[in-house]
Amino acid sequence: MEFVQQVLNGLSLGSVYALIALGYTMVYGIVKLINFAHGDILMIGAFGGFFIMGAFGVSPTTILISFIVSMGVCAIIGIIIEKTCYAPLRNAPRINALITAIGVSYLLENGGRVLPFMGPNPKQFPTFKIQNYNFLGINISQTQIMTIAISILLMALLNYIINYTKIGKAMRATSFDMNAACLMGININRIISFTFALGAALGAAAGILFASSYPQVEPYMGFMPGLKAFVAAVLGGIGSIPGAMLGGFLLGIAETLTKGFISSKLADGVAFGILIIILVVKPTGILGKNEREKV
Amino acid sequence: MFKRLLALLVVVVMSVSLLAGCGGGGNTNTPTNTTGAAESTGATGDTITIGTIQPISGAISAYGTQSRDAIQMAVDEINQKGGVLGKKLKVVVEDDENTPEKTVNAFKKLVTQDKVIGIIGALTSKCSLAITKEAQQRKVIMISPSSTNDTVTDAGDYIFKACYNDSFQGPSVAKFAIETLKAKTAAVMFDNTNDYSVGLKDSFKKKFMELGGTKVVEESYATGDKDFNAQLTKLKASNPDVLFISDYYPTVSLMAKQIRNVGMDKVVLLGGDGWDEITNNAGDEVVGSYYSNHYAPYSDDKEVKDFVSKYQTKFNVVPNALAALAYDSTYILADAIQKAGSTDPEKIKAAMLETNKKFVTGSIKFDPNTRVPIKAITMVKIEKDSSGKLIAAFGGTINPQ
């Protein structure tokens, strides 16, 4: 029974990782860039929820508004970052864009520290009154239900956009071959912006869910979950959307089970150990496709 | 190409995460907030300079900022009454963000640049432990207001503290759990990367078993962890009467919600002085919990009342226990300099040992061997007042054996 309980805890943590990992993997799939500032988008999203629910109280309506507003704001921030920081570097060597991404990440973190309404000190995130449900000896909290349900809903929505809409088709085409897609009349710049916006919106949702489960917000809060989600994206196969979801859930469960049955001291070691093993054994990740290098 | 790039990336990620791990989550680059210029050194001219190292930003900034304000208040009062040895007292404030590396930097700056003769700090045990050896070597009087870890004063006879030891605090909470709460089984959550947390947990556990407790189960985590569900699910299986959380208030407030979320809704939460400020940082989930502290602000004691009213008029908040300890530390140090009649560290050290007076946090007299004060412990109970706000109510006292 304890095993099932721990798997459930892992699922709830993993669903947040999966949402963040989706942002990494989509951007990578299209522009081949690891967007290290993605974890900090999570922080901005969480602060959005913090301000809205702090001002208007916690109720199903305000949480819905928080999601919509935070996701919208972060989508815009995602586009701004892409246009100002990454677009000028699109034809530069990949390592330049990567270093820029690390720079943007530090800018957002330290910017948050300096801004008077955010500041360096942790703040309490407003949450619902605690409520638990019991099923056959397994305890599930309202927050866990909300986290898992909203994550799955958003992932289903993303799946729909990617596979069944016109813009999704364009995204897939761009990811497959950017030049060919361009020749077919797809507006590449628009698709890239849309991808960043979509990724950032998911990151913002993940931020609110993360802060609801672990009710504290501070400018550095996105760093560790961002890093773990990156591991999840690589584990599932970077560039692959189902891979990111699978990777996120697997990593969350692996981490929780390590804490629960081996030792809590090893949890982070296991998470990053998985990254090393996967890179050695199957560098493309579980669901990643083998990309042949064309000369 | 792709593989190589990814491998390179992993190296970058690993090293970044390692660095961040060391920094404990928060980092800036400039030491902030130095009051006053550094042109007058140590005791030359017409000022006597002392230093203080406090976590003014970062996770436990509520401690650092209040302590800083309390020290400044004490210094202003002393200067109004004519200063020390006929000279003005000046305090230089350094921020360590509760990271030992930054404490060392702050210490070096205070000693070499500002030439301070005494240091009040650091606030937390892990930060104090990073500088005690050097303070002893350089013969700088150091008085930590609130580092309760037992080993802090081990470095030598220049190191003092204004609070009791964890080896007294932990057992007092255990005694309270067994005798007042009639607990039989206990669970403990502690941060295995924090000296304060580990020391406090060990002493609690030992005494709890000695006094007739039947079982203590423990689980650990690392500084900065946010997800405790796995550990708490394990603890829940043992169904403890009390759960002792050996950590500071930000982690406690984060954990308390998860404790109730995993369905441990009856367990009584207990803690040490690191819980001070919890009433401003947590919700209903901590009501009915107890923690040991250095003073209770709503006491009838004359010194306490004076201090609280002065602090409240000036800063508009009820001072926490760390502010009270910082205030006392400033007076202890200033009194000792006055008594020594000079700024010779040797003489100040001897004068410190003669301290025997009633301060805000109780009567303080140093144990000559450990340089730790012998004083009573206050248990605080978290209650909700009529307006729904959490308050730190008086829960009892435990005297030194």
Per-residue H/E/C for B241-283: CEEEEECCHHHHHHHHHHHHHCCCCCCEEEECHHHCCHHHCCC
DSSP string, B75-95: HHHHHHTT-BTTBEEEEEEEE
Q: Does B210 touch chain A (CB under 8 A)?
A: no
A72-81 confidence digits (pLDDT tens): 999 999 999 9
* Between B396 and B54, residue with greater pLDDT: B54
- Specify the number of domains making up chain A: 1
Report yes or no: A217 and A224 within 8 Å, Cβ to Cβ.
no
Cβ of A122 within 8 Å of Cβ of B233? The answer is: no
Tell me the sheet residues that pair with B390.
B384
pLDDT of B29 over the 60 cut = no
User: Is the reported ipTM for this assembly greater than 0.95?
Assistant: no
pLDDT of B30 over the 80 cut = no
> Using 50, 70 and 90 to split pLDDT, how confident is the model at A143?
confident
The token duo for B131 is 């500088």
Is A250 a member of any domain? no
Distances (CA, A) of B110 to B58, B94, B119, B162, B343: 21, 8, 8, 21, 16
pLDDT given for residue A289 in this prediction:
73
The B residues from 261 to 280 touching A (CB cutoff 8 Å) are: 261-263, 265
B162-174 confidence digits (pLDDT tens): 998 888 889 999 9
Average pLDDT along chain B:
86
Question: Which residues does chain B have within 8 Å of residue A144's beta carbon, measured at their own beta carbons?
Answer: 261
Percent of chain B with pLDDT over 70: 89
Cβ of B234 within 8 Å of Cβ of A141? The answer is: no
pLDDT of A294 over the 90 cut = no
pLDDT of B1 over the 80 cut = no
Report yes or no: B242 and B173 within 8 Å, Cβ to Cβ.
no
Residue of A12, A9, A40 whose CA lies nearest to A207: A40
Report yes or no: B144 and B122 within 8 Å, Cβ to Cβ.
yes
Mean pLDDT, range A107-133, rounded to an integer: 86
Is A236 a member of any domain? no
Q: Decide whether B47-164+301-370 matches B167-293+378-398 in CATH topology.
A: yes
DSSP state of B124: S
Cβ of B263 within 8 Å of Cβ of A139? The answer is: yes
A112 in helix, strand or coil? Answer: helix
The token duo for B98 is 């509760």
Q: Residue B79: exposed, middle, or buried by beta-carbon count in 10 A (0-12, 13-18, 19+)?
A: middle
Helix axis angle, B61-80 to B302-315, nearest 10°: 100
DSSP string, A208-221: HHHHHHS-EE-TTT
A7-55 confidence digits (pLDDT tens): 999 999 999 999 999 999 999 988 888 899 999 999 999 999 999 998 9
For B167-293+378-398, CATH gives: 3.40.50.2300
pLDDT given for residue B139 in this prediction:
92
Tell me the sheet residues that pair with B359.
B362
User: Using CA atoms, how far apart are residues B277 and B392, in angstroms rounded to an integer?
Assistant: 9
The token duo for A287 is 């669901």
> Using 50, 70 and 90 to split pLDDT, how confident is the model at B281?
confident
> Using 50, 70 and 90 to split pLDDT, how confident is the model at B27?
very low
pLDDT given for residue B8 in this prediction:
60
pLDDT of B23 over the 50 cut = no
For residue B255, the distance in angstroms to the closest alpha carbon of chain A comes to: 8
Cβ of B13 within 8 Å of Cβ of A129? The answer is: no
Q: Does B226 touch chain A (CB under 8 A)?
A: yes
Mean pLDDT, range A141-167, rounded to an integer: 92
Is A88 a member of any domain? yes
User: Using CA atoms, how far apart are residues A238 and A234, in angstroms rounded to an integer?
Assistant: 5
- Burial letters B221-235, b for 16+ CB under 10 A, else e: bebbbbbbbbbbbbb
- Please identify which residue in the block is written with the tokens 């923690």: B291
CATH topology of domain B47-164+301-370: Rossmann fold (3.40.50)
Domain boundaries, chain B: 47-164+301-370, 167-293+378-398
For residue A252, the distance in angstroms to the closest alpha carbon of chain B comes to: 11
pLDDT given for residue B387 in this prediction:
84
Give A266's contacts (C-beta < 8 A, 6+ positions apart).
Answer: A258
Report yes or no: A254 and A270 within 8 Å, Cβ to Cβ.
yes
User: Using CA atoms, how far apart are residues A80 and A161, in angstroms rounded to an integer?
Assistant: 22
Is A277 a member of any domain? no
A156-180 confidence digits (pLDDT tens): 999 999 999 999 999 999 998 888 9
Is A261 a member of any domain? no
Question: Which residues does chain B have within 8 Å of residue A234's beta carbon, measured at their own beta carbons?
Answer: 6
pLDDT of A140 over the 70 cut = yes
Cβ of A2 within 8 Å of Cβ of B237? The answer is: yes
Of B14, B26, B226, the CB nearest to A214: B226
Report yes or no: B123 and B61 within 8 Å, Cβ to Cβ.
no
Report yes or no: B186 and B209 within 8 Å, Cβ to Cβ.
no
pLDDT of B136 over the 90 cut = yes
Mean pLDDT, range A124-129, rounded to an integer: 86
Range of the domain at A20: 12-222
- Please identify which residue in the block is written with the tokens 């760093």: A223
User: Using CA atoms, how far apart are residues B4 and B103, in angstroms rounded to an integer?
Assistant: 40
Question: Which residues does chain A have within 8 Å of residue B13's beta carbon, measured at their own beta carbons?
Answer: 227, 230
